[in-house]
Structure 1
Amino acid sequence: MTALHEVSRPAAEVLEWGRSLVEPALRETVGSLPEDVRLITGYHLGWWDAEGNPTGSSGKALRPTLALLAARAVGGRAEDAVPAAVAVELIHDFSLLHDDVMDGDETRRHRPSAWRVFGTNPAILTGDVLLALAVETLAAAGGPTRVLTTAVLDLLHGQNLDMSFETRGDVLLSECIAMAVGKTGALMRCACALGAGAGGGTPDQVAAFALFGEHLGLAFQHMDDLLGIWGDPAETGKPVYSDLLNRKKSLPVVAALTAGTPEAAALRALYSSPAPFDPVEAAALIEAAGGRSWSHDRLTQLRNQALATLDPLAPAPHPLAELTALADLVITRAR
């Protein structure tokens, strides 16, 4: 595949392009909501402060941009995938609103989480509204809502597994990988499949882009888990060691717990004890048991697997180069 290194624009510019196409439609869609829900949604999205004053901040728009590029890669127009991209972004933000409540995370994007500002129940209900709005948005555009709802079911199953792992001491690495595929891979799979479909892709093209998204989503979760332990809060916008303090059985943690080494046994003792533990000590044990290096190695492997799924399709070189730029960003990002 000769186009893999022909990056037309840096990843940051690709994301800005995607945001410029999707955000006006997203703002219009959110603008249809009742005032109280609209205020919480816009705050969560970074558009304004708790009083509704504009702030100019927003998220990465990775999933919507993947949908747009998938449409272009199969020969379609990015604009045709905008409703799908909006629906995917609404699902993503529904999940984040609920995730912050369930994990007790008090910050999101360098400021207090929505539930901390507006209350737990309003944040949960706003997430519910965004879920319904996402399905409505895709249905209004004639999109395949079953693809979206299947992704939501997989996402919720993955999230449920993630929380159940916190009270289990026998989580297998295969179980943890399956959880991450559902929790994160499902929505990226959905974004890419919907985008390819909106661009007029054949069933084989849609299936290949779905697999591309799933591999990339799993890589994204690996990096998320690494940043959740070793990331800089100034970059991530989330509390330091929050995953460890919540006793999350994330990918590097489970890899370490199942390593069969003395460090793995020491980490298991920390995680199984009801007493509070020092997260710095836990992070050191995870690294010593090989969890950190295993996740780092999987990043590159999954990135290559994702791009290899597109080889038989011979997608358009320009969007392929930009998909490659985003894949590289997923495995090197600091936030």
Structure 2
Amino acid sequence: MTAYAGTEAVTRTRQLVTPALRKAVATLPTSTRRIGEYHLGWTDKDGAPSSACSGKLIRSTLTLLAAEAVGGTAGPAIPMAVAVELVHNFTLLHDDVMDGDRTRRHRETAWSVFGTGPAIMAGDALLSLAFQAVAESGAAARAIGDTVQQLIEGQLADCEFETCKTIRYADCVAMAQRKTGALLSCAAELGGLSAGASPEQTARLRRFGAEVGLAYQYVDDLLGIWGDPAVTGKPVFNDLRRRKKSLPVAAALESRTAEGEEFGALYAARGELTTEQLARAAYLVEKTGARDHCQARANELMASAPGHLRSIASPDPPVSRSVARAIAELGNLARLAARRES
């Protein structure tokens, strides 16, 4: 069980958003619907009901709380939250194919069950549903369109980095901002749009989401190397095995240390890395200081992100109790994102 499962905000989001998300996915043709429902943890590969993990819903929770933080209510933000979840799962279906990952959320990935082509098509189907969910809001549709372009650019950069002999740490940060930060930024923006937020409020929400998203990626990359497989659902040293240019890897390669030099040579060697080599690689990355650096950057982002929420609500009239609670919950959600276990 993840750290999110016991939070009141996420529990409420699950109750409000999941029925609407199920309703949207149910409109798909059978061929793509069954893949989408399997990927979302609602059914097993034979189509029977399942209670598998359906995701953390951090992005849709962010959308609902952002709406309330500017004085709105959760109801009008639900279609926006559904759209955010659909876009997120579109990226996961495609990422699993591109990365060749065979497990997600502690079970087989959709492509490994249904095939590469069908999984890609199911991802595309979920993306089309996202635009349908916000069809009545031109601003929301434009925000999603812009975000998807950033996600694609980030994913392409991530793929290119895997074959680059040298890579700059700054380039990896920029990639993470597009690949992960963009969607959390969009999630917060959509919440604001649903509540009629002012341009200044919307801009603050976007910046908050972007910083939370980058912190999330730092932690995700740390888990990709040192996460407990029993918790993450992925093999130990998973990112190292794939020679992924994650943030701690890039920081280690750019460290100008003896350990960084040894790690670089090991990472560049041909052939699969053995279990012993993977353990050595993880040790070397940590010895360069990259692990501590990435955790520190995540902590710094979490410390600065709440600053964008200050003055988000008008002081005249005084902030209501519900607005103050939503702003506090956004801060709590951000801290959980940076200190999660999976």
TM class, shorter-length? over 0.9
Match of 2:340 in 1: 333
Match of 1:290 in 2: 289
Contact 1:11 1:326 in 2 (8 A): no
Q: Distance in 1 between matches of 2:303 and 2:266?
A: 35
The one of 193, 196, 200 equivalent to 2:192 is 196
| Cα deviation 1:63-111 (Å, max 9, x = unaligned) | 0010000000000011111111111100100000011111111101101
Q: Distance in 2 between matches of 1:204 and 1:264?
A: 43
The residue type equivalent to 2:327 in the other structure is: L
Contact 2:134 2:140 in 1 (8 A): yes
| Cα deviation 1:231-253 (Å, max 9, x = unaligned) | 01111112222211111110011
Structure 1 residues 163, 10: CA separation in 2 closer, same or farther (over 3 Å shift)?
closer
The one of 103, 106, 109 equivalent to 2:102 is 106
TM-superposed deviation, 1:10 = 8.8
| Cα deviation 1:116-153 (Å, max 9, x = unaligned) | 11111110111111111111211145552110011111
SS in structure 1 of the partner of residue 311 of structure 2? helix
Match of 1:3 in 2: none
The residue type equivalent to 1:26 in the other structure is: L
Match of 2:178 in 1: 182
Instruction: Map 1:265-280 to 2 at 5 A.
Output: 265-277=261-273, 278-280=277-279
The answer on 1:159 being equivalent to 2:126 is: no
Q: Distance in 1 between matches of 2:50 and 2:139?
A: 32
Structure 1 residues 246, 286: CA separation in 2 closer, same or farther (over 3 Å shift)?
same
Q: Which moved more, 1:176-185 or 1:320-329?
A: 320-329
Gaps of 5+ in 2: 314-318
Match of 1:32 in 2: 27
Q: Distance in 1 between matches of 2:87 and 2:97?
A: 16
Q: Distance in 1 between matches of 2:74 and 2:147?
A: 22
Percentage of pairs with the same residue: 49
TM-score for the superposition, normalised by structure 2: 0.93
TM-score for the superposition, normalised by structure 1: 0.95
The one of 115, 128, 134 equivalent to 1:132 is 128
Contact 1:11 1:325 in 2 (8 A): no
| Cα deviation 1:243-275 (Å, max 9, x = unaligned) | 111111100110111000000101111122223
Match of 2:316 in 1: none
The residue type equivalent to 2:280 in the other structure is: E
TM-superposed deviation, 1:13 = 2.3
Match of 1:228 in 2: 224
The one of 239, 243, 246 equivalent to 1:247 is 243
| Cα deviation 1:177-208 (Å, max 9, x = unaligned) | 00000000000000000101111211100110
The residue type equivalent to 1:297 in the other structure is: A
Structure 1 residues 298, 11: CA separation in 2 closer, same or farther (over 3 Å shift)?
farther
Q: Which moved more, 1:161-170 or 1:181-190?
A: 161-170
Contact 1:105 1:239 in 2 (8 A): no
Q: Distance in 1 between matches of 2:106 and 2:264?
A: 32
Q: Distance in 1 between matches of 2:283 and 2:101?
A: 23
TM-superposed deviation, 1:276 = 2.4
The residue type equivalent to 1:279 in the other structure is: L
The answer on 1:70 being equivalent to 2:66 is: yes
The answer on 1:310 being equivalent to 2:321 is: no
Gaps of 5+ in 1: 1-8
Instruction: Map 1:2-13 to 2 at 5 A.
Output: 12-13=7-8
